[in-house]
Chains A and B, each alone.
Chain A
């Protein structure tokens, strides 16, 4: 546990040592702020037209907060490859992987440390958005449950993205390549849900199993479906497992 923590802390420190963490969080806050403004503006105007501002408790949640959280999931898809791309690639390129692999730490500890470090940065990104959400509670009266479950969904989905990013980063020395491929894969997983109708019954099942974003919708509705939670957790475990395999096979190849 001490080793995992040491590596996770090292990861977070190194994010903040380069401008990347600031750029990512800043970019994220900016984009979120914009979506927030648009969503609220839209909500205000529609509720004004309906002549019942402030009353529609359900409306704030479904009309502003839900689309907002859905937007966050899309932004995460763009931003998370930037977080995960260097995790392994950079260590392989600079040779620091030699330190980790010859120290008395297990592959599992290294992977968990890197995973938790990336998740920690992601949580910090999400933390910025809770300020905006807090403001809604001051001026309005939204339902808190869908917000909390929505954040849980974001966390699970983001962690799944991160496990994919980690796997891809472990496959190459080049962090730019790792970032691009991760982005492409996430994009594919995101759009996979849209193709379900056109796929056959068998293909539909496969596509559904792959779609990380579809499951997220339920979370924004305030529902925690245990099936979805298990799905995400299995997805994460599988991603980390494959990363371990990749690190190990790299070792055999040299």
Chain B
């Protein structure tokens, strides 16, 4: 549905997007993840035909965005980073204007029902007669979303769709996006990592315009797990279980993470690629200890993200934080 090949965009001497290649299948939600200035917005602007790429090719809904921009644009809905609203228009007037420039050869009654439809889906119908300039940030974002889905496009490109929303709205918007997937192919960008694991089927992590990783959120976490570590919590009524754990075949190290009168938590590391969970559980239970918890301690997406996008460098101490040396 969306195919990007060797896409490169240079602003003068700044390379914002550097040889980007990825693919999105029909009905899929792709998360676009990267720190500030990674090139997310730039990529999306190229895909939506806002600006041409310096090099490379992008095909959206079967149409090359440089060769057949009109066809591609007709099938693409785009929510820019700042929702493109005209402050002097009411929400309804605005969407009516959008419907006039986006829908061709459609009767005015059909157009009206599309406007109503998109207002309902984006939950802005209660603000239909409010001026866009007087909307709160969250509602502006939603009207922007209504605008993007108005012509029922095959492809949706959403630049930080949940930025600036309150927690409840974030959940609602994510739900809306999940509902839209299946009938639409979606690319969304975000800095918020849980968002990606909650809404997206696949993730592209980019940094400085380059792809760092493409995979499902689950695979990413699995793939990046260093050595296999497990977290085990055991109620052993004061006995030391370390030796028992250590005796399990495949276990390479045991360390106590939480101490107390009650249950004790252990970090158990094992040989890479060897699943010791069954043996571990059996060994604990055989001693008649209470096995309260046993889970793989995975790297969170946050950690993956940081490990992928942060270069190995000593963090510089900001001079101001150094304290008052000159009292």
Check if A104 sits within 8 Å of B101, measured CB to CB: yes
Chain B window 98-111, contacts with chain A (Cβ cutoff 8 Å), 1 for yes, 0 for no: 10111010000000
User: With a CB–CB cut-off of 8 A, which chain A residues contact B78?
Assistant: 98, 102
B85 within 8 Å of A (CB atoms):
yes
Q: Which of B25-33, B48-56, B304-312 contacts A (4 or more CB under 8 A)?
A: B48-56
Chain A window 86-130, contacts with chain B (Cβ cutoff 8 Å), 1 for yes, 0 for no: 000000001111111111111000000000000000000000000
How far is B102's CA from A6's CA once the two chains are assembled, in angstroms? 11
A14 within 8 Å of B (CB atoms):
yes
User: With a CB–CB cut-off of 8 A, which chain A residues contact B97?
Assistant: 6, 10
Number of interface residues of A (CB under 8 A): 26
A7 within 8 Å of B (CB atoms):
yes
B73 within 8 Å of A (CB atoms):
yes
Knowing A13-B89, A103-B101, A104-B73 are in contact, say whether A253-B147 is a contact too (CB < 8 A). Answer: no
Check if A253 sits within 8 Å of B11, measured CB to CB: yes
A227 within 8 Å of B (CB atoms):
no
A17 within 8 Å of B (CB atoms):
yes
Query: Which residue of B has the minimal Cβ distance to A97?
Result: B84
Knowing A13-B89, A96-B84, A96-B85 are in contact, say whether A102-B49 is a contact too (CB < 8 A). Answer: yes
Q: In the assembled complex, how far is the CB of residue B122 from the closest CB belonging to chain A, in whole angstroms?
A: 15
Check if A2 sits within 8 Å of B50, measured CB to CB: no
Check if B73 sits within 8 Å of A102, measured CB to CB: yes
User: With a CB–CB cut-off of 8 A, which chain A residues contact B48?
Assistant: 102
Knowing A14-B88, A17-B89, A96-B86 are in contact, say whether A102-B101 is a contact too (CB < 8 A). Answer: no
Check if A18 sits within 8 Å of B88, measured CB to CB: yes
How far is B82's CA from A98's CA once the two chains are assembled, in angstroms? 9
Check if B51 sits within 8 Å of A254, measured CB to CB: yes
Check if B51 sits within 8 Å of A99, measured CB to CB: no
How far is B76's CA from A3's CA once the two chains are assembled, in angstroms? 18
A252 within 8 Å of B (CB atoms):
yes
In the complex, which range does the number of interface residues on chain B fall in? 20 to 34
Chain B window 253-275, contacts with chain A (Cβ cutoff 8 Å), 1 for yes, 0 for no: 00000000000000000000000
Query: Which residue of A has the minimal Cβ distance to B96?
Result: A6
Tell me the chain B residues, 60-78 only, with Cβ under 8 Å from chain A: 70, 73-74, 76, 78
Check if A2 sits within 8 Å of B104, measured CB to CB: yes
B217 within 8 Å of A (CB atoms):
no
Check if B70 sits within 8 Å of A251, measured CB to CB: no
B34 within 8 Å of A (CB atoms):
no
How far is B101's CA from A98's CA once the two chains are assembled, in angstroms? 13
How far is B93's CA from A13's CA once the two chains are assembled, in angstroms? 10
How far is B52's CA from A7's CA once the two chains are assembled, in angstroms? 24
Query: Which residue of A has the minimal Cβ distance to B46?
Result: A254
Check if A95 sits within 8 Å of B104, measured CB to CB: no
How far is B50's CA from A97's CA once the two chains are assembled, in angstroms? 9
How far is B45's CA from A165's CA once the two chains are assembled, in angstroms? 28
How far is B50's CA from A101's CA once the two chains are assembled, in angstroms? 6
Check if B100 sits within 8 Å of A6, measured CB to CB: yes
Partner of B50, one of A10, A17, A96, A98: A98
B161 within 8 Å of A (CB atoms):
no
How far is B4's CA from A185's CA once the two chains are assembled, in angstroms? 45
Given contacts A10-B97, A104-B101, A251-B50, 4 further A-B contacts (CB under 8 A): A95-B84, A106-B70, A254-B45, A254-B51
B residues apposed to A, CB below 8 Å: 9, 11, 42, 45, 48-52, 70, 73-74, 76, 78, 80-89, 93, 97-98, 100-102, 104, 147
8 examples of A-B residue contacts, CB within 8 angstroms:
A3-B100, A7-B101, A94-B84, A94-B87, A96-B84, A98-B50, A99-B98, A101-B49
Closest 5 CB pairs of A and B: A17-B88, A99-B84, A6-B100, A102-B48, A96-B84
